[in-house]
A and B are shown apart, each in its own frame.
Chain A
Amino acid sequence: MYLPDFDYYVPASVAEACQLLAENIDCAKVISGGTDLLPKMKHGLLSPQILVSIKKIPGLRKIEYVQGKGVVIGAASTINDIVFSEVVQQKYPSVSNAAHTMAANQVRHSGTVGGNLVSAVPSADMPPILMALNATATIEGPNGQRQLPVEDVFCGPSKCLLEKSEIITEIIIPDQAMTGSTYFKFALRRAGALAVVGVAAAVQVENETIKDARVALGAVAPVPMRAKKTEEFLIGKKISDELLEEAGKIAAAECKPITDFRASEEYRRDLVRIYTKRALCKAIDQGHV
């Protein structure tokens, strides 16, 4: 399998990258890890004439805790950078563990978190946990910078709300009142398989009561989705087995899965029911795992 011809640029800064994209608006694309883009180009689904590589732009690959901002993950950080990051492991092991469920080692060493978001695949593994933790993406374009909650990045399968000249530069996980979070992925194999269902939950527990909750679902709608009815149902209630069981049922009812070669709609809904309950249980009992 060969790739069509294209020109390749390695801009030295985000501004230069955005300018290149703006000047070649209909024929240029960002390449980060290339693990999503290159297979598509090999299949002839995309044939950009220009690739703008962002992986070597200084600062785009660092992960750090910034006081008053939160955990800041550069968009060109690889999935394995997140798996092994001490900052992430210490603050939100749930994020590091979610990253570890993705693909296999080789792909995790190349693929990046920015690419995972912008590829906007419904089954992508990073969006649910980032959405549960209320993360935002910093987006830079020729006209400056803006912030978008991660959940508002997507607008359809393989579609997101980025202008063609814009780049995600970082993902920020803000400081949390949430006391626990986790991500559960169901896939047909333990490695190298996409999620049939992904469920992330974050909860704030006080006096055996759920003070706040965020639940995000992957692979069960055209985009990674918040389970808002489930969240509303949970907030303010005393924790019990029945409560979590009911929350699972509500999540199963509000998701919008399809039947495809990986699983039927019915099966996916049932997985959402069970995994929502398990994710909530774990986040309640074990903190950010």
Chain B
Amino acid sequence: MSNFIVDNNGIKRYLVTINVNGIEYTKVVKANTLLVNFLREELDLTGTKKGCELGDCGSCTVLLEGKPVNSCLILAIEADGMKVTTIEGVASTANLDNIQEKFLEYGAIQCGYCSAGMILSAKALLTENPKPTEEEVRAGISGNLCRCTGYINIIKAIMAASGQEVMN
């Protein structure tokens, strides 16, 4: 972070290296660049969505060092030297991740705006707790708002992704 240049307007531009979905990106950013805008505008990773931009809705959820955070409240410069996973990095091969498959199968996606954040929260939950109870699933996605599905199908999809019986 000691590396920066000062532009003609006296604004500092900092050199950062952020590992996004396994690739190290070295870029020049202003201090006020939000991680969500860095991902969307600098890296063209537009899967990460912006809703409230105030930390309330979770559409901008990404994993920072494996933990779900709202990328609208993180500065890109704060992620310098860290690992970020976005929705584009969830599927490891040409195939979708199991959670994504289950979201499709259970109709857990309608407009899809919440889905990227929802799936990353689910991913983080199942990584830490491979067999969550329904209550734990509800808690795990409580920072992600969905205006369409009514959550039930999302909860079913996550339970199914954990290989558990899904209640009706």
Contacts and interface: CB of A to CB of B under 8 A. Distances in A.
Contacts of A258: none
A1 interface: yes
Contacts, number: 81
B55 A39 contact: yes
Contacts of B142: 104-105, 190-192
Contacts of B73: 34-35, 38-39, 107, 110
Given A104-B142, A105-B142, A105-B143, A8 B75 contact: yes
Given A8-B14, A34-B78, A105-B68, A39 B140 contact: no
A8 B31 contact: yes
Given A7-B12, A8-B75, A42 B56 contact: no
A104 B30 CA distance: 29
A191 B55 CA distance: 13
Nearest to A55: B78
Contacts of A190: 142
Contacts of B69: 106, 109-110
Interface in A171-193: 190-192
B58 A106 contact: yes
Q: In the complex, which range does the number of interface residues on chain B fall in?
A: 20 to 34
Q: Is the interface of B mostly helix, strand, loop or mixed?
A: mixed
B89 to A, nearest CB: 17
A104 B58 contact: yes
B100 interface: no
B53 A42 contact: yes
Interface in B135-165: 139-140, 142-144
Interface in A38-57: 38-39, 42, 51, 53, 55
B77 A34 contact: no
A10 interface: yes
Nearest to A7: B12
A233 interface: no
Nearest to A190: B142
A143 to B, nearest CB: 28
B115 interface: no
Given A7-B31, A109-B68, A110-B69, 17 more contacts: A2-B32, A3-B34, A5-B11, A5-B30, A8-B1, A8-B12, A8-B75, A34-B78, A39-B55, A53-B78, A80-B67, A103-B55, A104-B143, A105-B68, A106-B69, A107-B55, A190-B142
Which 5 pairs, one residue from A and one from B, show the smallest C-beta to C-beta distance?
A104-B143, A191-B142, A8-B31, A3-B32, A1-B53
